[in-house]
């Protein structure tokens, strides 16, 4: 049986509005002021808000799974496998698509195999190559998870306009691009 990935709910923050009508967490602001030794806490508060939002989405996603919780990483792989052709994907392809290491993917595939949601198969033309495919049980799991997830995401993004959702997506992905560029810059500096 799959374990629930979130056993205890996080405490709900007490939010306030700044003079411009933007929400903020006073506790986070005070903590960041002490950490930053000053008042310039906006980037730190934004990072904390991204983390809180991510946790909120994950908690709701786990709730929508009806107790059939998979880690976010395992769910991402299962979804990718569910969308792949019948030949499946290699560990390397999954790692590149998910932006994680092959070692991480191997552990996630182990979990999916233990739960009979995916399986490793040898490539028909290259016996050294192993591909991962979704099983019929994995497809059933995805089908059962689809509607509750869509409902949960509709609920958590209630009141957002399509333009706001597109802007939110854009801003989150800009964080990803900035992180990738910084990581590339730091790696180049080590060489």
Banded model confidence at residue 133, pLDDT cuts 50, 70, 90? very high
3-state secondary structure 23-54: EECHHHHHHHHHHHCCCCCHHHHHHHHHHHHH
pLDDT above 70 coverage of the chain, percent: 88
Reply yes or no on whether the pLDDT at 67 is more than 80.
no
> CA 74, CA 55: separation in Å to the nearest integer?
16
Q: Tokens representing 144?
A: 């059962």
Query: Given this model, what pLDDT does residue 149 score?
Result: 83
> CA 96, CA 90: separation in Å to the nearest integer?
10
> CA 81, CA 75: separation in Å to the nearest integer?
10
Domains defined along the chain, listed by start: 1-69 (no CATH), 72-143 (1.10.10.10)
Give the bridge partners for 130, in sequence order: 122
The residue-averaged pLDDT of 81-102 equals 89
Reply yes or no on whether the pLDDT at 5 is more than 60.
no
Are the C-beta atoms of residues 47 and 24 closer than 8 Å to each other? no
The residue-averaged pLDDT of 73-101 equals 89
Are the C-beta atoms of residues 7 and 71 closer than 8 Å to each other? no
Query: Given this model, what pLDDT does residue 110 score?
Result: 94
Which of 25-34, 92-101, 146-155, 157-166: highest mean pLDDT?
A: 157-166
Listing DSSP states for 86-103 in one string gives TT-EEHHHHHHHHTS-HH
Reply yes or no on whether the pLDDT at 147 is more than 90.
no
Reply yes or no on whether the pLDDT at 146 is more than 90.
no
Banded model confidence at residue 109, pLDDT cuts 50, 70, 90? very high
Q: Check residue 12 and report its DSSP letter.
A: P
The 3-state DSSP class for residue 101 equals coil
Higher per-residue pLDDT: 5 or 144: 144
Query: Given this model, what pLDDT does residue 4 score?
Result: 42
Reply yes or no on whether the pLDDT at 1 is more than 50.
no
Mean pLDDT for the chain?
85
């Amino acid at each position: 049986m799959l374990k629930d990935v979130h056993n205890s709910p996080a405490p709900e923050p007490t939010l306030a509005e700044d003079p411009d009508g933007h929400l903020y967490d006073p506790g986070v602001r005070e903590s960041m002021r002490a950490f930053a030794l000053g008042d310039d806490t906006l980037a730190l508060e934004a990072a904390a808000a991204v983390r809180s939002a991510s946790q909120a989405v994950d908690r709701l996603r786990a709730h929508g799974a009806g107790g059939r919780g998979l880690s976010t990483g395992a769910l991402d792989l299962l979804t990718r496998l569910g969308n792949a052709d019948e030949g499946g994907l290699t560990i390397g392809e999954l790692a590149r698509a998910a932006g994680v290491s092959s070692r991480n993917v191997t552990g996630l595939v182990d979990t999916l195999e233990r739960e009979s949601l995916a399986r490793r198969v040898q490539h028909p033309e290259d016996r050294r190559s192993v591909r991962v495919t979704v099983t019929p049980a994995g497809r059933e799991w995805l089908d059962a998870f689809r509607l509750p997830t869509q409902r949960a995401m509709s609920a958590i993004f209630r009141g957002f306009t399509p333009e706001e959702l597109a802007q939110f997506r854009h801003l989150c992905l800009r964080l990803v691009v900035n992180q990738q560029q910084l990581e590339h810059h730091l790696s180049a500096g080590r060489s």
